[in-house]
Chain A
Amino acid sequence: MNSLTGTLALARLALRLDRVRLTVWVLGLSVMPMGTAANYFKLYPTEADLRAVSDVLTNPSLVALSGPLTAVSIGALTAWKIGVTEFILIALMSLLTVVRHTRTEEETGRLELLRATVIGRHAPLTAALLVTALANVTIAVLIALGLMATGLPAAGSVAFGLATGLVGMLFAAIAATAAQLTQSARAATGIAGAVLGGTYLLRAVGDTGPTWLSWLSPTGWALHLHPYADEQWWVAALFAGASALFAWAGYALVNRRDVGAGLLAERPGPVGASPALRSPLALAWRLHRGLLLGWTVALALTGAVMGGAAAGIGNMKSPNQQLTDVLTRMGGNNGLTDAFLAAIFGITGMVAGAYTVQATLRLRQEESSGRVEMLLATRVGRLRWAASHLAFAVLGTVLLMAVAGVAGGLAYGAQVGDVGGQVGRLLGAALVQLPATWVLAGFGVTLIGLAPRHASLTWAALILSVLLVEFGALFGLNQWIVDLTPFAHVPKLPGAAFTAAPVLWLTVLAAGLGAAGLAGLRRRDMPVT
């Protein structure tokens, strides 16, 4: 038996376990560039339209957010608009997949069972990388074909698909190394995710200041491939070299450690609980605080960057009429900047919705892991236990949106010289999204209470919301279909008038869904695994 024996069997197992998850990732990531390009063909039919919008995009905040625009063309604009999003998402998909099939399996002890069968030492890591590579190659090919299908040049389409796939593979390799370092899968994901965040920041700083910094960042390399603008194919070699290096490091570390062990020693914890750790809520705080902190930082940065970018919109010299129309349609009718801000906070609301879903489903995680059993055998009742986690789903999202609103208001207000006024206005624009996120939480609770095995469908509700709001108009869907998502009903602040009715009924709907779920939770068997 050599060190790779059993790789294919493990890869098949991983594909079987991930069939739904990976399919969703692959389809989502493949469709977005094509959809964006098709959208732009409709929006900017003439060269003049393109020029007008391109002028706006030189705004430093937007450059920091998405990189510089490399040429004035539909292709370059598409690559600019969707590029960074695609790169971050494919990196996340890859690192999550690799960690899930390596460290998570090891942490839960399942790998030990497998390793005792005819499975080589390197088979689990190789299988994880193979499966991730398969997903990346599929995405790269589908992106290239999809972009070509919209009528964009072949070379640029291939370059963009390639860039996306290469970012994915590099982060798969980085995760392969990270997964060897710690005993905990969460910590491994954290390390790989921190590398991703770091490369994004390096690129953002590099693109607005010293360019060489962006050459240190893999997300920067992907932009330096210059899809649709004199493609620099040799940049692909950088990816290949870096991926090989990290993959090699991963394998080298596998050889040096025991099954289940990490290279970074686990720090000892306290020998007893602090006096505060005496309630379900205190326990929930321990379990949620890391996640909440990470999200708070991320949304503060997002708010600040967007607020900064908004100031540039107002300076636009020759506003493109159709762009104005689109933004107005997306965001209200009171000035272009307000429309932009309203659109941005609409998206931010859905981004924060991801935290809401994550925090809500923590309930289900506690149950299916079996941890809830010992807890519910104490005086803690089911409702109190559920409330301890839902407090974070509901109030945590309030914190996130408030932080985004205040950061946006400070950045925008500082540039237009009206900090006091803008903080209030943008805080309102941010907070008005909350009822829609609560509906997501309520839907999650309903599933947890009444159909616990299908609770992860809450993610589907969020993804569907994003697709309907972002692409619904583009694909010419009926308004009543788009209206299925709670986010379609949020008043478009700032700009549009605030209407209390939708905010109220969304809140009532969320409360009703939550109550139905909690009623089910009280009656049903626990734990359902």
Chain B
Amino acid sequence: MTEAIRADALVKTFGSTRALDGLDLVVQAGEVHGFLGPNGAGKSTTIRVLLGLLRADSGTARLLGGDPWRDTAELHRRLAYVPGDVTLWPGLSGGEVIDLLGRLRGGLDTRRRAELLERFDLDPSKKARTYSKGNRQKVALIAALASDVDLLLLDEPTSGLDPLMEEVFRQVIREEQGRDGRTVLLSSHILAEVEALCDRVTIIRDGRAVETGTLAGMRHLTRTSIQVDLAGPATGLDAMPGVHDLRSHNGTLRFDVDTAELDAVLRQLTAVGVRSLTSQPPTLEELFLRHYDRAQPDAKHRTGVSR
């Protein structure tokens, strides 16, 4: 089995709201898959369908080779879930919740639990009602990460963590990548996190996947920023395909270039003679902003780049 998760054309409506509108998602076994989208895009709904909590109106979902709605109990042995909004039983201590959830999943690695408590700097003796959002999230994360499972479903797991803890989280997930066969679906709206951790990314908007692939692959769809001092005048540069926002200041040229056209543009520059050149790689941020720029008409979002 190479696909840990496969969703085809999932549709889920709540009353008149169409939360999922034909969503496709494929997560390969063993990868850390970023699931990107703004609030309300349908990330949590997708994860709940994958957990068998919600029943899709149409479309199919497969999880670890099973049907998430029918084979719930067997599948849940093999996965751990951290919800986006963690609520705990106010009268139980954090340590009790971690142990309880671990046991209900079918076992907890106590050495790993102790290690994670230390790294996430969580006091397990506090009652859950006294925990902040970040601390409640740590409880759920530790319970999930200390379980021996094939699949981690993490719904915006760092939204309440401080930067230090976010770094700890990244380290822990990187270690998970090293562990054989463990798959992670990481929903997030924090691009830096996804960039730092994920092998592949699916971007969703309004209940639909608008982009999916490796980060390297997606970068082809974005623009690189170039700042260059040339030996002579750059003729015809502004007429080249893929060059945008060309500005000149004291002999320094700045422009953005579609990554697909980078090679041709660089040839043109070196033909004139380059004195100095800085280039900024495209960030996921730009890609994201272009997809979520509400001013843009819907029509283009399937093809990524088109101008």
Contacts and interface: CB of A to CB of B under 8 A. Distances in A.
Contact of B87 (A266, A369, A377, A524): A369
Nearest to A272: B95
Interface string B77-111: 10111010111111111011111110111100000
Interface string A90-114: 0000000000000000010000000
Greatest chain B CB density within 10 A among A287, A378, A379, A524 is at A378
Nearest to B110: A272
A484 interface: no
A277 interface: yes
Which of A271, A374, A376, A381 has the most chain B CB within a 10 Å cutoff? A374
A286 B76 contact: no
A526 B54 contact: yes
A20 B254 CA distance: 65
A271 B140 CA distance: 15
A268 B124 CA distance: 9
A497 interface: no
**Interface size class of chain A, counting residues whose CB lies under 8 Å from the partner chain:** 35 or more
A335 to B, nearest CB: 48
B51 A183 contact: no
Contacts of B125: 268-271
Nearest to B76: A379
B87 A370 contact: yes
B53 A373 contact: yes
A527 interface: yes
A374 B98 CA distance: 11
Interface centre among A186, A269, A380, A527 (most CB of B within 10 A): A269
Contacts of B60: none
- By DSSP majority rule, is chain B's interface helix, strand, loop, or mixed? mixed
A345 B85 CA distance: 45
Contact of A378 (B98, B105, B127): B105
Contacts of B96: 269-270, 272-273, 277
A280 B54 CA distance: 21
B81 A268 contact: no
A269 B51 contact: no
A184 interface: yes
Given A379-B105, A526-B54, A183 B129 contact: yes
A370 B127 contact: no
Contact of B80 (A373, A377, A381, A525): A377
Contacts of A279: 104
Given A270-B95, A272-B124, A377-B51, A277 B100 contact: yes
Given A269-B92, A374-B86, A183 B99 contact: no
B81 A374 contact: yes
Contacts of B103: 273, 277-278
B119 interface: no
Contacts of A280: 104
B130 A183 contact: yes
Interface string A257-274: 000000000111111110
Interface in A187-229: none
Given A266-B129, A283-B89, A380-B76, 6 more contacts: A267-B127, A268-B127, A273-B98, A278-B100, A371-B89, A378-B104
Interface of B: 48, 51, 53-55, 72-73, 76-77, 79-81, 83, 85-93, 95-101, 103-106, 124-127, 129-130, 140, 153
A-B complex: 7 closest residue pairs judged by Cβ atoms = A269-B93, A273-B99, A377-B81, A378-B104, A273-B96, A268-B125, A278-B103
23 contacts: A184-B91, A268-B126, A269-B93, A271-B93, A273-B95, A273-B97, A277-B99, A277-B103, A280-B104, A370-B83, A370-B85, A370-B87, A371-B89, A373-B48, A374-B86, A374-B101, A374-B140, A377-B80, A377-B81, A378-B101, A379-B73, A380-B104, A381-B72
